[in-house]
Amino acid sequence: MEVRVRFAPSPTGALHIGGVRTALFNYLFAKKMGGKMLLRIEDTDQKRFVPGAEEYIIESLKWVGIHIDEGQGVGGPHAPYRQSERKEIYQKYVQQLLDEGKAYYAFDTDVELEAMRQRLKAAGAANTSYNALTRTQMRNSLTLNEDQTKQLIDAGTPYVIRIKVPMKEEIRFKDLIRDWVVVHANTLDDKVLMKSDGLPTYHLANIVDDHLMQITHVIRGDEWLPSAPLHILLYKFLGWEAPQFAHLPLILKPDLLDEKGKIIEERHGKLSKRDADEMGFPIFPLTWNGTNADGEDITSVGYREAGYYKEALINFLALLGWNDGTDKELFSLDELIDSFTLGRIHKTGSKFDIRKAKWFNQHYLRQKPDSELADGLVNALQQKNIACSQEKANKIVHLMKERVTFPQEIYEQTEFLFQEPAVYEEAVVQTKWNQEAVTLLTTFKDELVTITEFNAETAKATLHTVLEKAGVKIGKVMPALRLALTGAGHGPDLMQIMDILGKEETSNRIEKAIDKLVIIG
């Protein structure tokens, strides 16, 4: 049988990075097994629907390189792939459950449901859910006769349809990550299968869709593990063979660290947007400007816009809860597909570590051709109305490539190459800008005019000649020279900086600093 997996997000806002990992693990497994991956949009909760979320999900998957074989945005033989468009399909199967006595109508109002919970709570009951015991005391088609039930339906009384969970039954299934899971039916509640608006809940819709779409493996987040026994029961009620399940471990909150990486505070629980906002890293693959399911306005920069490469993000996410059994950390997408097995997924959650994501990004940036980074730099500068030749861009990339983590930092850390210093680092002025340094810089500036082919090598040779004649070591003048050229006390290779600035600009900046800065001491 062909392996078929699905990624089935709800369009309730931006796609969480944990959802991207779920999609990735589905994709890697499908490709490893020569199967197909489907995209289904589970939008039956219309109250939490967010416009633009579906398009955002599709664009996010495309960006990270997860190719959808069938489903929303692609099409296929099992369309439609939006659950809101499959209402009639679900009606057929919920009616089957009703006819066979495996589901029932429940007419209880919110007030009646709350009263039930309060009664049970007052009685000290450990379980206050709507279940095999409490349903006998509620207003449903199990306690009403057929005529009463029909009258309520004909009168338009709001109702839901609940599954009738058996009182005595052991439900068991083998999870591909967690091994055998065994649950007694008396611990389950009679979940709603069809809501009062006529749309199914997740519990019914995903079972019906997974069966009709011939899904062989359901690979989803750990938060769905408590619902899995109910889903197994539904497969049994409908007379279908259940797919194989694999519940992925959580992505956990990162610990709070100091600058040296020492733990200041250990944090526990599932990674949230609040954690990301507090600690200053993205939680979504792409920038999201919109609302969330609660109607709150959200503006959050994504990994793409923050300067992360998709190769780095994929590599990072793949190792959050999985490894190939070795110490290998760097994988291309093809290598991940080749190495991936569900058996190597961890059973416990993995701490999120943005430092590792940055490490991956730095690695993949350094693998990029200089010409590609230079093109990106030129384009970025054009958007700022700054002219930069390709030759200059290539030199800047060569200068900065080993020093940055994100491509945008190439410009951010070399603004001084396009604009002479307006201010100078005061601490360097106080300690390094002295009469000896000024005298030597003046001589060096005067010698620059004698250089016919100005570049890093000739500039360095000229500076060494000046210093040798004066009997001064280079360390005595380098901080002052850097200050004059960049305004700062630290930075990339100074000879290459002069090469990029050119002879005239180098001379002008030295002269300006000499005229502007007051000698201390």
Whole-angstrom distance, CA of residue 411 vs CA of residue 393: 10
Whole-angstrom distance, CA of residue 96 vs CA of residue 94: 5
Q: Judge contact between 272 and 281, C-beta under 8 A.
A: no
Angle, CA 358 vertex, CA 357 and CA 362 arms, to 5° = 120
DSSP designation for 507: H
Q: Judge contact between 377 and 399, C-beta under 8 A.
A: no
> Could you tell me which of 406, 300, 302, 430 has the C-alpha nearest to residue 358?
406
Question: H helices then E strands: how many in the chain?
Answer: 20, 16
SS (H, E, C) 462-501: HHHHHHHHHCCCHHHCHHHHHHHHHCCCCCCCHHHHHHHH
Residue 106: beta bridge partners? Answer: 140, 160
> Could you tell me which of 224, 273, 226 has the C-alpha nearest to residue 253?
273
Our answer to whether residue 273 is catalytic in this structure is: yes
Query: Do you find a cis peptide bond into 77, omega within 30 degrees of 0?
Result: no
- The reply, when asked if residue 236 is annotated as ligand binding, is no
On the 0-12 / 13-18 / 19+ scale of CB atoms within 10 A, 143 is middle
- Which listed residue (87, 236, 270, 273) is catalytic? 273
| Residue that the structure tokens 């806002």 belong to | 13
Alpha helices in 297-353 (DSSP H): 310-318, 333-339
* Helix, strand or coil, per DSSP, at residue 40: coil
* Helix, strand or coil, per DSSP, at residue 191: coil
Would strands 179-184 and 170-175 be described as parallel, antiparallel, or unpaired? antiparallel
Binding-site sequence positions: 273
Instruction: Catalogue the active-site residues.
Output: 273
Binding-site sequence positions for ATP: 273
